[in-house]
Amino acid sequence: MNNENIKIISKEILSDNWYTLNKITFQYHKRDGTVETLSREAYDRGNGATILLYNKALQTVILTRQFRLPTYINGNETGMLIETCAGLLDKDNAETAIKRETEEETGYKITDVKKVFEAYMSPGSVTEMLYFFVAEYAKEMKVSEGGGHHNEQENIEVLETPFADAVTMISTGEIKDGKTIMLLQYAQLHNLFNQ
């Protein structure tokens, strides 16, 4: 952290239950020369990675469906969300983490992944950087049923979906997850299925 216009005054932990919620008070030197003191809350859950698995021959993608409490309490009547496979890095690098998460969640053991970009998903309140990957999959890569890691209380349904249907599901509202929309649109923009 080397922004000379920012000076951290204090950091207070508000919650350290599931992840860490901090209240940070800082001084911000504005362009007009004035200094403003502000307090903001920042949720730190670590960084993560996500991946779009695709099969050119079948014209399909692998997605997941699982319950997401925050969407449920914000009006998603079932709380179920269709997403690309994703997970936290924990102490791994992004590539190692996404290979691990892919096998745990989808049951596919992949070796070749391509990082396509990285993004902050909710920079106003969450510190997380998300690393985005794509990888081709084939039936012979399936080593288990997937469904998530039992110790992490995951209950994930694996969906093999035609790519065209997945893209349509964005406009119908069946897919509302930001990372998933971004990766599906990446696949469209870069013609992953026509290479």
Provide the annotated binding site for Mg(2+): 86, 101, 105, 154
Binding residues, by number, are: 86, 101, 105, 154
Q: Which residue has the tokens 């996404």?
A: 98
* Token pair in block for residue 84: 């690309």
Count of all residues that appear for the chain in the document:
195
H helices of the chain, where?
Answer: 69-73, 94-106, 163-172, 178-189
The amino acid occupying position 31 is R
Q: How far is CA 137 from CA 16, 51, 109, 118, in A?
A: 38, 11, 9, 22
- Asked whether 83 and 94 are in contact (CB, 8 A), the reply is no
- Asked whether 132 and 50 are in contact (CB, 8 A), the reply is yes
Kind and range of the H or E element at 63?
Answer: strand 60-67
- Asked whether 28 and 16 are in contact (CB, 8 A), the reply is no
